[in-house]
C-alpha cells in the first residue's frame, strides 16, 4: 500500500521496512513505517466481478428558501441524478441529470396551485435568483478528467489491488486511515472527522471487498460523533441500520450559526450504504433549515456501459 503526502507528490511504499524509509528519505518526505497490523499482504487480489464499479444516486434537496409569492409560499424538492462508472484500471465516467422539482407536501401543492402551478422558477419567494423546473433535462455523460487512473480514499491514490488489500479488521483499518490523515496533513482536530468521512465513502464509493466494507461499518460505530439509532427505512422503503453523525462544532459565519447533522442508513446484509441525509440549521440574523438526502439506488459491479442517467 502507498500513502501520498499530497495529491501531486509521488506515492511512498508502506510496509516494506527499510526500503520504504529509504525511498522516503530520497524524496525528502516523512518516513511511513506503519504498525504491523496496518501492513497489507501482497497476496493476489480477487478479480473484479464486472467491467465497472457503478454507483447510481438520487439527490433530493429542500430549502433553504420557499417559492411562490404573497400568501402562496411553498417548499419544493429539487432532484438530481448522478452516476459513476469506474473500471478496475481506475478510468472513470460520470453522468448527471436534473430530474425535475416538485412541491414537497400536500399543503405545498395547494399553495403551488394557488400560485398558478408554475413549471419553472427563476426567483424564490424572497427574491433570490434560482433556476428550477418541474421538467427533467436531457442530462450528460462523459469521462472523468484528472483522476490519474486511481481510486481515492482519505487523500490517497489507490490501485484496484490496493483497494482489495485494505485492512479487513476495524482497528487496523482505523489505524491505516489515521496514518493516511497524518501524511495528508489533516489538522489534528479534524482527524476523527476525516476518518469518519472515509469510512462512510468505503460503504459505496470504492470496489472494496465485502469484508473490508464490514470492517468499515464496525469501525464507524466506534467513532466519537457516531450514534446507532436502531432500524429505519430509506425513501425507497429499504430497511437498514440507522446511524447519526453529530458534527462537533457549529460554524460562525457573517453573524450566522450553522450546525450540521448527518443521518445514514446502511444495509448490514450487503454492507452498502442506502442513504445519507444532511440537515443544516442556520440561526442568527436569519433562521432557516436546509436538508438534502442522497439515496444510493445502485452500488456494485456492472457490465453496462456508461450512459446518461435514466429517470427513476
> What confidence score (pLDDT) does residue 20 get?
31
Task: Provide the pLDDT confidence category of residue 163 given band limits of 50, 70 and 90.
Answer: very high
When pLDDT is averaged across residues 162-171 and rounded to a whole number, the result is: 97
> What confidence score (pLDDT) does residue 188 get?
86
- Cα separation, 74 vs 111, in Å, equals 6
> What confidence score (pLDDT) does residue 219 get?
98
- Cα separation, 220 vs 302, in Å, equals 27
How many Å is the maximal CA-CA distance in the chain? Answer: 74
Across 20-34, 178-192, 211-225, the highest mean pLDDT is recorded for 211-225
267 and 250 Cβ atoms separated by less than 8 Å: no
Poorest-confidence range of 33-37, 71-75, 136-140, 149-153? 33-37
Q: pLDDT for 186-236, tens place per residue?
A: 888 889 999 999 999 999 999 999 999 999 999 999 999 999 999 999 999
C-alpha cell at 34: 506503519
When pLDDT is averaged across residues 151-178 and rounded to a whole number, the result is: 96
- Cα separation, 84 vs 95, in Å, equals 6
> What confidence score (pLDDT) does residue 14 get?
35
> What confidence score (pLDDT) does residue 236 get?
94
Tell me the domain boundaries of the chain.
1-33, 34-302
Task: Please state, rounded to an integer, the average pLDDT across all residues of the chain.
Answer: 85
When pLDDT is averaged across residues 35-45 and rounded to a whole number, the result is: 48
78 and 103 Cβ atoms separated by less than 8 Å: no
- Cα separation, 101 vs 63, in Å, equals 12
Amino acid at each position: 500500500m502507498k500513502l501520498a503526502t499530497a495529491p501531486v507528490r509521488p506515492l511512498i511504499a508502506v510496509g516494506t521496512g527499510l526500503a520504504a524509509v529509504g525511498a522516503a528519505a530520497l524524496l525528502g518526505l516523512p518516513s511511513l513505517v506503519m504498525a504491523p497490523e496496518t501492513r497489507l499482504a501482497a497476496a493476489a487480489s480477487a478479480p473484479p466481478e464486472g467491467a465497472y464499479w457503478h454507483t447510481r444516486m438520487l439527490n433530493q434537496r429542500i430549502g433553504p428558501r420557499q417559492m411562490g409569492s404573497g400568501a402562496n409560499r411553498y417548499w419544493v424538492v429539487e432532484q438530481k441524478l448522478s452516476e459513476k462508472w469506474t473500471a478496475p484500471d481506475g478510468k472513470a465516467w460520470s453522468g448527471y441529470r436534473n430530474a425535475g422539482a416538485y412541491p414537497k407536501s400536500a399543503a405545498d401543492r395547494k399553495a403551488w396551485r394557488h400560485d398558478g402551478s408554475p413549471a419553472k422558477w427563476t426567483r424564490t419567494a424572497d427574491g433570490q435568483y434560482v433556476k428550477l423546473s418541474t421538467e427533467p433535462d436531457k442530462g450528460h455523460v462523459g469521462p472523468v478528467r484528472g483522476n490519474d487512473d486511481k481510486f481515492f480514499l482519505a487523500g490517497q491514490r489507490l490501485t484496484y489491488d490496493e483497494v482489495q488489500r485494505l485492512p479487513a479488521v476495524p482497528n487496523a483499518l482505523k489505524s491505516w486511515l489515521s496514518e493516511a490523515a497524518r501524511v495528508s496533513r489533516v489538522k489534528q482536530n479534524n482527524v476523527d472527522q476525516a476518518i469518519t468521512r472515509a469510512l462512510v465513502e468505503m460503504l459505496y464509493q470504492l470496489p472494496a471487498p465485502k469484508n473490508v466494507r464490514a470492517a468499515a461499518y464496525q469501525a464507524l460505530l466506534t467513532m466519537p460523533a457516531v450514534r446507532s439509532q436502531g432500524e429505519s427505512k430509506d425513501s425507497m422503503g429499504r430497511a437498514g441500520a440507522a446511524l447519526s453523525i453529530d458534527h462537533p462544532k457549529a460554524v460562525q459565519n457573517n453573524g450566522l450559526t450553522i450546525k450540521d447533522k448527518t443521518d445514514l442508513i446502511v444495509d448490514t446484509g450487503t454492507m452498502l450504504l442506502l442513504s445519507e441525509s444532511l440537515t443544516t440549521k442556520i440561526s442568527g440574523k436569519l433562521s432557516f433549515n436546509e436538508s438534502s438526502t442522497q439515496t444510493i439506488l445502485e452500488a456494485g459491479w456492472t457490465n453496462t456501459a456508461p450512459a446518461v442517467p435514466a429517470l427513476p
